[in-house]
Amino acid sequence: MTQQPQAVIELIPASQFSIGELTSIYNQTRVDYMVPMPMNAERLAEYIETYDVDLERSLVAMDGSGMRGVAMLGVRADRAWVTRLGVIPGTRKGGVGTALVRGLLEQSGLLGIDFNMLEVIKNNTPAHQLFFKLGFYEVGELLILRRAPLVPPIEPMIADARRLERYEALDLIGDDRGAQPWTNQSETLHHVTDISGLRLTLGDGSTGWLVYQRQKFLLSRFIYKTDTGDPAMMAYAFLSHLHHQYPRLDTRLENIHVSDPHLPGFRKMGYIESFRRIEMWRGEPPASLVHSK
């Protein structure tokens, strides 16, 4: 039997497509995905703005039959982020994913950026191996956590608690927190509305703070730090105050490092693991991203 020639893959800037078209191709690539995460046009537009996605540098893969995949590139100072990579089922293993990621890396290089970040869902072996092949290496494992609103309410720990306005919260997250996943970097929170915070001082002198986004039905985007004291105890303290204030809201958190010392406090407060991602880098991170106090 004569083998059919492989279709030529053409990479086209995502800016040449409407948000509706990009939403459609993205959702088609995720119908059989381990964690589908479907989007509508409004959510994708918000995603693009929140995460500094550059549609001129993002790519749609096409062949003679139509759109075959999509991949997006977030761009910030000294770094870029590979995200929303997807290939339509039935056309995988044909080089589309490799072409898309190579294309994004080329776009990153044209901007003078040689440090790239991404996250891949744990046990998504084909994607994981693709990223290894293209020069990415593992730097950590990340948790996606959820707390249902029906967890029985817990009384807040005794503490001196002060609510922080948005400008105060954004000032706090400007403090150096070392290398963070793209979703949790300070730039992300600056793009987000409904940001508030809490600063707590416990009776033993322990201090810390929590910054979060409160939407109509959801708490999310937690950034936090223990200044003095036990991180697990401080986490339990600020979570007890937060969930006492908003007992009916669902909570979803992304990309919490498995080694985070605050995690026992989250688990004690009823947070459960939804799934895990592997964080991967390519190139050496800029000093501005990784230096710590």
Residue 61 maps to which CATH number?
3.40.630.30
Q: Which domain holds residue 258?
A: 145-282
pLDDT-derived band at 292 (thresholds 50, 70, 90) equals: very low
Asked whether residue 231 is assigned to any structural domain, the reply reads yes
156 and 278 in a single domain? The answer is yes
**Are 151 and 270 contained in the same domain?**
yes
What does pLDDT average to over the chain?
A: 92
Q: How large is the average pLDDT for residues 276-284?
A: 97
pLDDT of res. 291: 54
Instruction: Write down which residue in 66, 99, 114 finishes a domain.
Output: 114
Q: Examine residue 290 and state whether it is found in any structural domain, yes or no.
A: no
> Looking at the predicted structure, is the pLDDT value of residue 186 above 50?
yes
Which strands make up the sheet holding 207-214, listed edge to edge?
Answer: 10-13, 59-63, 66-76, 79-87, 116-121, 272-282, 137-147, 250-257, 218-228, 207-214, 195-202, 159-164
Look at residue 35 in the predicted model and tell me its pLDDT: 80
User: Is 120 a domain residue?
Assistant: no
Are 89 and 159 in a shared domain? no
Do residues 106 and 164 share a domain? no
Residue 172 lies in a domain: yes
Query: What share of the chain has pLDDT > 90, as a percent?
Result: 81
- If asked whether residues 78 and 166 sit together in one domain, one would say no
Q: Are 69 and 160 in a shared domain?
A: no
Last residue in a domain, options 70, 94, 114? 114
Q: How much is the pLDDT for 5? A: 46
Distance CA(130)–CA(116), nearest Å, equals 15
The residue behind tokens 């991602």 is 277
Say which residues have a Cβ less than 8 Å from residue 42's Cβ, sequence separation at least 6. Answer: none
Same domain, 187 and 66: no
> How many domains does the structure of the chain reveal?
2
Q: Mean pLDDT over residues 41-70, rounded?
A: 94
Question: Same structural domain for residues 160 and 241?
Answer: yes
Is position 240 within any domain? yes
- Using the predicted structure, report yes or no on whether residue 146 has a pLDDT greater than 90: yes
Please give the share of the chain, as a percent, with pLDDT higher than 70.
Answer: 96
Whether residues 264 and 159 share a domain: the answer is yes
207-261 per-position pLDDT tens digit? 999 999 999 999 999 999 999 999 999 999 999 999 999 999 999 999 999 999 9
For residue 153, pLDDT over 80 is answered with no
pLDDT score for 176: 66
Domain at 217, CATH number = 3.40.630
Position 293 confidence tier, pLDDT thresholds 50, 70, 90: very low
Same domain for 168 and 256?
yes
Strands 116-121 and 79-87, how do they pair?
parallel
pLDDT in the model for residue 6? 58
Lowest-confidence segment of 82-91, 108-117, 160-169, 244-253 by average pLDDT: 82-91
- CA-wise closest residue to 279 among 114, 119, 112: 119
| Average pLDDT over every residue of 159-180 | 88
Q: Please give the average per-residue pLDDT across 110-131, as a whole number.
A: 96
Q: Which of 114, 135, 167 is the last residue of a domain?
A: 114
